[in-house]
Amino acid sequence: MKKKVIYYSDLLNDEFSGTNINAVELGEDFVFINKNPIWRFFAFILYYFFAFPLVALFCFFYLHLRVKNKNVLREFRRKGFFLYGNHTGFYDAFVHSVINFPKKSYVIANRDATSIRGLRQIVMMLGALPIPNNIQGMKKFTQAVEKRWQEKKCITVFPEAHIWPYYNKIRPFPATSFRFPVKLNSPVIALVTTYRRRKGPFKNCRPYATVHLSEPFYPDPHLPLKEAQINLRNRVFDWMENCLETKGSYEYVRYEYRQNKNP
């Protein structure tokens, strides 16, 4: 069977999610942490009694998800930490919640996540922390991330930013994405999703997913802020690349470089 080929021209900015959502600006009055008790009650019910069961069924019966080294999360049940992963599918947005259950997990997301009419509050209830595009909003966003960490939650980051479905390499990502764990002196766990080829008559169909978790990384407190970000980024990036190289990942989609993505 001939593989699907996707042509790219920019490792940092090309997007292949196929959602085509027009991102809506977040106003200065955007609420990142809703303190309304009724809102919080419904957020709890939605997350634990509706969303999580559906997500778990999807992960284990559709993705046939396997999680390696999950025991590393045990020591962080009562600590805040950051989870950094490669971004190879739309389901990345909720796989982290399955991995961290019963602890609620939040995810730093692009504005498209809260740009679908009528779904903004639902997405926020499920743990989205959308990145604003204005100074006032960024201040509130920073406070929200730090608040969730202080509440001993998991905060998931996909530093590659854009979805490349089934891509089996690690794309470059900036050291600035590590500013929160460095500022908070927080542990970081790296996550890599690899793909397993099916067997038998379905061997050429959509592959199954395996998530690999690293041992914790800690920022170097003896380095200046920017140097500490670079140091932490490099250690996480090297582990992710080594994980893909040693564990292997089935190439379901082939990515080829072209200056013009349309061959």
Is pTM, for the whole model, over 0.75? Answer: yes
Question: If we measure between CA atoms, which residue out of 216, 214, 218 comes closest to residue 247?
Answer: 214
| DSSP for 222-255, written as a single string | TS-HHHHHHHHHHHHHHHHHHHHHHH----SEEE
Phi, psi angle pair for 195, to nearest 5°: -125, 140
Contact 14, 116 (CB under 8 A): no
Query: How many domains is the chain partitioned into structurally?
Result: 1
pLDDT at 1: 60
Structure tokens at 152: 């001993």
Distance from C-alpha of 79 to C-alpha of 73, rounded to nearest angstrom: 10
- pLDDT tens-place values along the chain, 263 residues long: 678 899 999 999 998 877 666 667 777 788 999 999 999 999 999 999 999 999 999 999 999 999 999 999 988 888 999 999 999 998 888 899 999 998 999 999 888 777 777 788 898 999 999 998 888 889 999 999 999 999 999 999 999 989 999 999 999 999 999 999 999 999 999 999 999 999 888 888 999 999 999 999 999 999 999 999 999 999 999 999 999 999 999 999 999 998 765 55
Q: Is residue 263 part of a domain?
A: no
* CB-CB neighbours of 110 under 10 Å: 18
pLDDT at 78: 87
pLDDT at 134: 83
Q: Provide the CATH number for the domain around residue 227.
A: 3.40.1130
Distance from C-alpha of 45 to C-alpha of 59, rounded to nearest angstrom: 20
Q: Is residue 226 part of a domain?
A: yes
165 pairs with which residues across the strands?
Answer: none
Domain that holds residue 221: 4-257
Q: Is residue 262 part of a domain?
A: no
| Residue that the structure tokens 């008790």 belong to | 37
